[in-house]
Structure formats: structure tokens, C-alpha cells
């Protein structure tokens, strides 16, 4: 009998992690739903998060927590992949209290998490398995758990977005440079000063090298929800500094990062 796995996600980065993780488990009957929450991705963010995965052709349903509870009660999967922000994870885990049968609950974070944080661990403390993506993360979460009296079952797994290689190192890219790609995060760079300084430097590059496609690749535009709130969206900073040298020549882009990482691209 084919085992089933249900992935529950809420924000764009968790949708991406969930879909990519499901792709590494082709032997399972997989499905994905997205919780209706303040960090729910927009349609364009969903398309970007699912791009290149088997879920791209199966747009996930958006469900309320009450609907998810009913589904888990009436048709429990063998495995629940809990791919949500911490507060949502708490609510889903509480809804499983006393459930019979109870699915195996696997949770994790959508990227590298160094240093390990107390909230990340506490929110997910009643899950059965906590996936991390490096031995350093495992060591830090294990040490933090000992300090907090929590004993997580940690599993180290490669980031599911990485291409699989059987042997050897990646081939060097010898293509002429034609694109510089800057991919900031919602929480990094942290300060307005740092963000503005980097933006102006990219503008000067675009002005001095008109042969280059200088791209600012964003997870979301101003006003779109992300896993972490972004106080100073780069598209808004570009609009504020459009008269600075070269800034108007910068290209603001969204969508899957992979579509911009073609030969001849330097990633900042």
C-alpha cells in the first residue's frame, strides 16, 4: 500500500520548501495545502514557490485551520509535513492532541538556521521529527534543547532545492559576465543605511557597465507578505532613489531564483 504524506505550508518560503521536499519523496502519495493566514502568498508568489516541482501543475488548496482539522480527523495521512511559521505550527500540533490514528509529524525550517533559536524549537517541540540542513544546526538545536529541557529528534537532510550530483565538483562557469544578481532577504541587509548603500553601489555598477543586466531579485514586492516582515522593501527604496546615478537602470524582478541563475551570472 502506498503511504500518504500531506504537507501544510503557510508562507512563500515554506511553500517552496514543502514542494521541493515532496519532490524528494516520489514513492509517497503526496498532497499540499496552504493555510489561510496573514502570511499567505499571493498567486504570483505561489507560482514562483512551486516552479520546477511536481506541485506546479497541482495548485494547492487554501484551507482554514478548521478545515485542516477536519481533514486530519476524517482522512489522516501517514505523514504530516508541517512546513509553517512557528505560530501556525503550534495551532496545527495542538489540533492533533489525542488524535487516533495520529500521523507522523515531520517539521523543519525552509533554509539554514544559524544560530538556533528558542522560539523555532519551542513552537515545534511536539513534532516527531525536526529536519535541519547541516550538522552545525543539529548540534546547536541539540544543545539548545538540553538547556530548555526539550529533546527534539533531529534529522540532517540536504536542502531540497540543491541539484543532486553523484560525483565530482560542479563545472566552472567560463561564460562572459552578463548579469549581476542581487538577492536580498526580508531581514538582511538589516538597516536602511546598509540597504541604501548597497542599492547605490548597484546603481553605480549599472551606470558604469551598461552591458550588464543588474537585477535586484525579490521574494515579494512592497505590500506582499513574506515569512519575515520586510520593513524596507527594495522596490520602494529604488523608487525613493530613482534619481541617484544608475538606480533607474536597475531591474526589479520576482519569480523563481533559478530562472536568473544562468551561465554568465554573478550572484551577490
C-beta separation of 216 from 250 below 8 A? yes
CA 91 to each of CA 80, 86, 130, 182: distance values in angstroms, whole numbers, following the listed order = 14, 9, 17, 36
Report which of 113, 104, 106, 99 is spatially closest to residue 13, judged by C-alpha positions. 113
Specify the pTM.
Answer: 0.84
Q: Residue for cell digits 485551520?
A: 65
pLDDT band at 233 (very low <50, low <70, confident <90, very high): confident
Q: Are residues 79 and 186 in the same domain?
A: no
Residue 222 belongs to domain spanning? 179-260
- Stretch 229-240: mean pLDDT: 81
Whether 268 is in a domain gets the answer no
Of the three residues 156, 189, 217, the one that is the final residue of a domain is 156
Q: Are residues 256 and 225 in the same domain?
A: yes
Neighbours of 137 (CB within 10 A): 21
Rounded Cα–Cα distance for residues 146 and 150 (Å)? 6
* Domain containing residue 76: CATH number: 3.40.50.2000
Summarize pLDDT for 40-84 with one digit per residue, the tens: 999 989 999 999 999 999 889 999 999 999 999 999 999 999 999
Of the three residues 156, 191, 223, the one that is the final residue of a domain is 156
**What pLDDT is attached to residue 136?**
96
Whether 110 is in a domain gets the answer yes
**What pLDDT is attached to residue 255?**
84
pLDDT band at 234 (very low <50, low <70, confident <90, very high): confident
Whether 82 is in a domain gets the answer yes
Whether 168 is in a domain gets the answer no
Whether 36 is in a domain gets the answer yes
Mean pLDDT of the chain: 91
Q: Are residues 62 and 136 in the same domain?
A: yes
Amino acid at each position: 500500500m502506498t503511504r500518504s504524506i500531506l504537507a501544510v505550508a503557510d508562507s512563500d518560503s515554506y511553500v517552496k520548501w514543502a514542494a521541493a521536499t515532496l519532490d524528494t519523496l516520489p514513492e509517497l502519495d503526496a498532497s499540499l495545502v496552504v493555510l489561510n493566514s496573514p502570511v499567505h502568498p499571493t498567486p504570483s508568489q505561489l507560482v514562483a514557490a512551486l516552479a520546477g516541482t511536481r506541485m506546479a501543475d497541482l495548485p494547492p488548496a487554501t484551507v482554514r485551520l478548521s478545515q485542516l482539522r477536519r481533514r486530519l480527523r476524517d482522512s489522516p495521512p501517514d505523514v504530516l509535513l508541517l512546513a509553517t511559521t512557528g505560530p501556525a505550527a503550534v495551532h496545527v500540533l495542538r489540533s492533533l492532541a489525542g488524535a487516533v490514528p495520529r500521523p507522523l509529524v515531520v517539521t523543519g525550517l525552509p533554509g539554514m538556521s544559524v544560530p538556533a533559536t528558542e522560539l523555532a524549537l519551542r513552537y515545534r517541540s511536539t513534532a516527531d521529527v525536526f529536519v535541519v540542513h547541516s550538522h552545525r544546526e543539529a548540534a546547536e538545536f541539540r544543545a539548545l534543547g538540553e538547556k530548555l529541557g526539550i529533546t527534539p529528534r533531529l534529522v540532517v537532510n540536504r536542502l531540497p532545492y540543491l541539484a543532486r550530483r553523484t560525483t565530482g565538483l560542479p563545472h566552472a562557469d567560463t561564460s562572459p559576465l552578463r548579469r549581476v544578481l542581487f538577492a536580498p532577504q526580508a531581514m538582511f541587509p538589516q538597516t536602511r543605511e546598509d540597504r541604501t548603500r548597497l542599492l547605490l553601489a548597484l546603481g553605480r555598477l549599472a551606470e558604469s557597465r551598461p552591458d550588464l543586466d543588474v537585477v535586484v531579485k525579490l521574494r515579494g514586492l512592497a505590500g506582499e507578505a513574506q515569512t519575515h516582515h520586510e520593513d524596507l522593501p527594495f522596490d520602494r527604496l529604488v523608487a525613493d532613489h530613482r534619481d541617484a546615478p544608475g538606480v533607474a537602470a536597475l531591474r526589479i524582478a520576482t519569480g523563481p531564483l533559478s530562472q536568473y541563475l544562468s551561465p554568465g551570472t554573478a550572484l551577490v
